[in-house]
Amino acid sequence: MKLQTKIHLFSSVFMLILIVLINTAIYFLFYKVSADSELDQLAGQTDVITETLNKNPDIAEEELLKAFLPNDGMIRVIDKDSTTVIPTLTKKNEYRRLASSYTTTENRKMDKTANQDNVAVIEKPIIWDNGDIVTLQVSKHLVILQENMKILFYVLLFASVVMLIPILIGANILSRFLLNPIKALTGAMKENATRTKWKKIKVHSSKSKDELYEMEKTFNEMIERLSENFQKQDVFVSDASHELKTPISIVKSYAQLLSRRGLEHPDLFYESVEAIETEADRMQKLVEQMLNLAKSQLKTELQDVDFLILCSEVIKIFQGAASRDIEFTTSQQGFIVKGDRDRLEQVVYILIDNALKYSDNSIDVHLTHDAEWVTFTVTDYGQGIPVEEQGRIFDRFYRVDKARSRETGGTGLGLPIAKEITEAHHGELKVTSQIGKGTTFILKIPLSIKN
Ligand code: ADP
């Protein structure tokens, strides 16, 4: 069943039940109030009859009672054997079938004749002329009440139908109001699923900022991010294949050279094998870094990492491998950050590795913190990075000096990886550099335990 039909059906049935319940309550309340007032009136008349009987003992009771007989009604006198003391007084025979019983208390009740007419009945004990206590039963057909109830029934029925019309129109407007944005959304989703184009939808009602507005806005934001990611992915795939082409074609040329002239020129053999090995290493590094970039998400469970210990360990690895001076300074304690230790280690590694690769002298590493941030800086005194290039070095595969970078085995993926990991830790990575003087990378990670 369509959502539109469901909304129609639910709202109409719900409102119909509500209207029927309210109208039934109105109907029976009106009946109760009117019947009570009719019974009061008849009880008053019965009191007048008993008073007149008491005041006129000389007049025959039957004659007196005849004078009080209502046009549409009946008067009956019942003794304790439940037999009528005088013949039942009535102009219509159907009243004779009304129940008769002896009672010593005053009763008021509603009854129905054989024709289903509503009848008010008052039963009252009185003293008869022979001294016996008998029951005086006075009944009256409630003609006006019956007519009024009939009119009320038709009025309520008409009102129910009239009320249902705006309800149906309202349900229609509501379902359109709710479903049109959903239809637009579904249409856009279908189009996006079949085409490569990323289609957004028109955002309505920006003033009310309701749930539909939120849904449309969120959908457009999602499409924006998807299209950006797909674009990035496209660029990444074409850049990656371009980067891999160079080493592959070098390996292929050397392999061809070997097959053509390798046997006659043994010196070529060693040169070719060395070149093939270097290019294979390059490809391996490139592939490893591409994989690193692809899985830039952090571990789901982050841990408290002591950044001081982490830096000391990475520096120790470099000091063991390279014969370069790394000056590490810090004057504080308490460098605990929340994060993925392996990924943070990778950032520190990339920054120190770059500083060593792109300078020839010693480098300075400094660690400090304030109330909110751990700040890690790596300074080298090398060639520096031109100002216009400083914004681009965080782009994938971007290298300032392609030849130098190739010599040092650079892939142009180190800084993008470092930047992504930093941002995943809600930190920031910046660079300041002066040509010929050197470069400083500043890494900031939020402190886990704020001071
Ligand atoms: P690579 O693998 O080429 O080093 P990166 O992404 O780490 O890739 O760096 C991108 C480019 O930024 C490098 O090719 C280099 O030109 C430049 N660069 C990075 N660090 C430094 C530095 N400390 N000094 C000078 N240039 C640097």
418 lines ligand 1 (CB under 6 A): no
For residue 241, give both structure tokens.
């294949």
Pocket probe mutation, ligand 1, options 380, 415, 434, max atoms within 8 Å of Cβ: 415
Burial, 445: exposed, middle or buried (Cβ in 10 Å; 0-12, 13-18, 19+)? Answer: buried
Residue 218, phi then psi, degrees to nearest 5: -65, -40
d(CA 79, CA 135): 6
Check if the beta carbon of residue 324 is closer than 8 Å to that of residue 356.
yes
Check if the beta carbon of residue 425 is closer than 8 Å to that of residue 447.
no
Give the count of beta carbons closer than 10 Å to the beta carbon of residue 219.
19
Of 153 and 292, the structure prediction assigns the larger pLDDT to 153
CA of 401 to the centre of ligand 1 (A): 8
- Give mean pLDDT, residues 41-59: 90
- Give mean pLDDT, residues 21-26: 95
Angle between helices 143-194 and 211-261 (to 10 degrees): 20
Start-to-end Cα distance in the chain: 60
292 lines ligand 1 (CB under 6 A): no
Annotate 240-292 with DSSP letters as a single string.
HHHHHHHHHHHHHHHHHHHHHHTTT-HHHHHHHHHHHHHHHHHHHHHHHHHHH
* Whole-prediction pTM: 0.57
**pLDDT at residue 365 is higher than 90:** yes
**pLDDT at residue 439 is higher than 90:** yes
Annotate 120-184 with DSSP letters as a single string.
EEEEEEEE-TTS-EEEEEEEEE-HHHHHHHHHHHHHHHHHHHHHHHHHHHHHHHHHHHHHHHHHH
CA of 450 to the centre of ligand 1 (A): 33
**pLDDT at residue 42 is higher than 90:** yes
d(CA 25, CA 128): 44
Check if the beta carbon of residue 73 is closer than 8 Å to that of residue 92.
no
411 lines ligand 1 (CB under 6 A): yes
DSSP 77: E
Residue nearest to atom 4 of ligand 1 (CA): 410
354 lines ligand 1 (CB under 6 A): yes
401 lines ligand 1 (CB under 6 A): yes
For residue 303, give both structure tokens.
């841990």
* Percentage of the chain lying above the pLDDT 70 cut: 95
Q: What is the pLDDT of residues 235-254, one digit of tens each?
A: 888 888 888 888 898 899 98
CA of 286 to the centre of ligand 1 (A): 15
Of all atoms in ligand 1, which is nearest to the CA of residue 378? 23
399 lines ligand 1 (CB under 6 A): yes
Q: What is the pLDDT of residues 96-148, one digit of tens each?
A: 888 888 998 999 998 888 778 889 999 999 988 888 899 999 999 988 888 99
Q: What is the pLDDT of residues 183-219, one digit of tens each?
A: 888 888 888 887 667 888 888 765 667 888 888 889 9
Q: What is the pLDDT of residues 279-330, one digit of tens each?
A: 899 899 888 888 877 765 666 678 999 999 999 999 998 887 767 899 999 9
d(CA 161, CA 167): 10
* Residue 6, H or E segment: helix 3-55
